[in-house]
Amino acid sequence: MDKTIAVLEGDGIGPEIVREALKVLKAIETKYGHRFTLNHAPFGAAAYFTEGSPFPEGTKAICDEADVIIKGPVGLAVEKMNEIPPEHRPEIGAILPLRRRYDTFANYRPVRLPKGLASFSPLKPELIGEGIDILMIRELVGGIYFGDKLEGPQTGMRYAKDDCTYTDDQVRRVAIVAFEEARKKACPLTNIHKANVLATSRFWNQVVDDVAKSYPEVPYRSLLVDNAAYQLVKYPRGLNGVVLLENMQGDILTDEAGGIIGSLGLMPSACVGPEKSYVEPAHGSAPDIAGKNIANPYSMIGSIALMLERCLGLPDEARDVWEALFHVFSQGYTTVELAEGESETRKVLTTSEFGDAVVGNISRKA
């Protein structure tokens, strides 16, 4: 396979975790005889300071030409961010425009903690049971994130608003993605909502119920988002299977899920659109530990696995990366943030040692 890939390293720990992810991609390229041409481009807060925009025109052109995009986390320390005018901050000025540009509506966020790694979780091992295996699918280009916004003093009173809108098509297409996934995996689907209060949630449920009719073989239920937040802590494996979420609720519950499996460093993600997709870790740029070679690169390397699987149609290569990743933990290694509060004694790896260990596992296996 011959593909062109845009690489947006981002800010903070971005460059160091992307470096490890690219090592892993190189190992896959060599082992399977693919050719991946990488085009690096500036993106994020640092790009604002060097180029005057967090998503410069040159970067847009590189992304437009690429088959797929690898994106690291973005954002600098608070004081530095405060120097950036709101419309140029990386969230509003780069991430949302990237999602909108490629209409990346389906955000896959797998939440996986096998039984053997139960000690990573802050929860009691009994609650992890046979393991957590949830595929959260978050709608990524609709809802309150993309609605009309108003802020600042209005005539006579101070006032702000964020509109939340969902159209039939927006809900339907992501629901279909989720049901297809549940059918393939032969697992249940849980639909998350806040229909006791929100009109958009009542509408969301109507459309999802309608899509569900075409998938009679998929066990399907709907769960209020506040209850889901509670269940996730009380009985996380009760949510095993596919979990479908709208944008804002998905943002919150995927972070909670990261906490439950022990670290946001274990949360890779793929943002898939009709024509173009990109991958990114679900966490931020952790400026406080940037440049120290201690960040956990799992989420970035896992995002490479998701890219192979979801964006390039290379399931064997993806499986190879997943196995190599999990094998690092089976070999008795861990990372700094996972080791905090850990009951088991594991050897702590640096960012680059972790990447090397994954590469070693990929190369060793024929």
How large is the C-alpha radius of gyration of the chain? Answer: 20
For position 246 contacting ligand IPM by CB under 6 A, the verdict is no
Between 181 and 251, whose beta carbon lies closer to ligand IPM? Answer: 251
Among 16, 246, 251, 320, binds ligand IPM (CB under 6 A): 251
Among 144, 178, 253, 282, binds ligand IPM (CB under 6 A): 282
- Annotated catalytic residue 145: yes
Site size toward ligand IPM (CB under 6 A) is: 4
Q: For residues 363 and 27, is the Cβ–Cβ distance under 8 A?
A: yes
Tokens matching residue 222: 């709907």
- Nearest-angstrom CA–CA distance, 37 and 67: 10
- Annotated catalytic residue 278: no
- Annotated catalytic residue 67: no
Judged by CB under 5 A, the stretch of 29-37, 246-254, 263-271, 310-318 that binds Mn ion is 246-254
17, interface contact from Mn ion, ligand IPM, none, CB < 5-8 Å by kind: none
- Nearest-angstrom CA–CA distance, 324 and 335: 16
For position 320 contacting Mn ion by CB under 5 A, the verdict is no
CB of 232 to Mn ion, least distance (A): 15
- Spell out where 86-146 has E strands: 106-114, 131-139
CB of 251 to ligand IPM, least distance (A): 4
91, interface contact from ligand IPM, Mn ion, none, CB < 5-8 Å by kind: ligand IPM
Please give the span between the terminal C-alpha atoms of the chain, in angstroms, as a whole number: 19
Between 20 and 251, whose beta carbon lies closer to ligand IPM? Answer: 251
For position 91 contacting ligand IPM by CB under 6 A, the verdict is yes
Amino acid at 152: G
- Nearest-angstrom CA–CA distance, 312 and 6: 14
- Nearest-angstrom CA–CA distance, 279 and 303: 6
For position 95 contacting ligand IPM by CB under 6 A, the verdict is yes
Q: For residues 120 and 261, is the Cβ–Cβ distance under 8 A?
A: yes
Active-site residue among 163, 169, 209, 226?
A: 226
Could you give the residue numbers annotated as active site? 145, 194, 226, 251, 255
